[in-house]
Amino acid sequence: MALMTALITGASSGIGYEISRILADQGHDLVLVARREKNLIHLARFLEKEHDIAVTVIAADLANPKAANRVYQQLEKDNIPIDILVNNAGAGYWGPFTQQPTENDEHMIQLNVLALTQLTKLISQGMVKRGLGKILNIASAASFVPGPYMSVYYASKAYVLSFSEAIRCELKGTGVSVTVFCPGPVSSEFHQHAGTTNIFLMRKAPIMGSAQAARSAVKAMQKRKAIEVPGLMNAIMTILPRFFPRSWVNFVTKWVLKP
């Protein structure tokens, strides 16, 4: 008998894939969302076989402005109320702002910011009515500082942190909690897509495994924590900028984001 139903965006790889496995292990029914339908179906069949749960697959490109609404319509049609929402799907692109194609900027803002906001709005309304729910938004250690050469990505993750903290305050007392997870570098497909495999940060910083990051994120959500920054070094790197002039912080960030 499943406990609650969880929707995970970006379940086809990386952190979202691992979060899906953990929540399935805990007996939750799942709704898996991403573009690569084959990967989702493969994961769904595997999880249904391993656990006594129901897994629904919704293939959607969340960079399409209508996609979040379509996902929600599908949930309504299939009568699947969501008790756990994991807004994990995200993408980044490395490169000087003036040389980035506009489509990349729009893709990041639509996916990392708008789709996350729309899904949170649509799904949290039902959670509040039922007086029960958990929302886990995947931000980044990037949320705490501006990111030269990844300006739009870092800004999009600053939005996720600010938005999540604010609605957490608004939802206090409703039975719905909001947790924002802010990992440093994690080993996943993200860096191949982003073009960041050769930047200084990725060559020198400790890289966390996707499974470890997922465990930490789910644990924080279940404890209804406000913000989780996994790993001591990441925690230090997100606190230190508060004590230095912003110009110094920007100088250092630009340096670590260089090839």
Interacting residues with ligand NAP (CB under 6 A): 9-16, 34-36, 39, 60-63, 88-92, 111, 138, 140, 183, 185-186, 188-190, 193, 210
CB 24 within 8 A of CB 53: yes
What are 163's two structure tokens?
Answer: 């938005």
- Residue 252: exposure state from Cβ atoms within 10 A (0-12, 13-18, ≥19): middle
Closest distance between ligand NAP and the C-beta of residue 212, in Å? 12
Q: Smaller CB distance to ligand NAP: residue 130 or 204?
A: 204
Active site residues: 153
Of residues 249, 217, 246, the one with CA closest to residue 230: 217
Closest distance between ligand NAP and the C-beta of residue 64, in Å? 8
- Residue 48: exposure state from Cβ atoms within 10 A (0-12, 13-18, ≥19): middle
Alpha-carbon distance values, 99 to 95, 104, 194, 258 (Å): 7, 10, 14, 15
Closest distance between ligand NAP and the C-beta of residue 143, in Å? 9
Q: Smaller CB distance to ligand NAP: residue 18 or 29?
A: 18
Q: Smaller CB distance to ligand NAP: residue 207 or 249?
A: 207
The distance in angstroms from the start CA to the end CA of the chain is 50
Closest distance between ligand NAP and the C-beta of residue 36, in Å? 3
Q: Smaller CB distance to ligand NAP: residue 54 or 211?
A: 211
Distance (Å, whole) CA 105 – CA 111: 10
Residues paired with 33 in a beta bridge: 9, 58
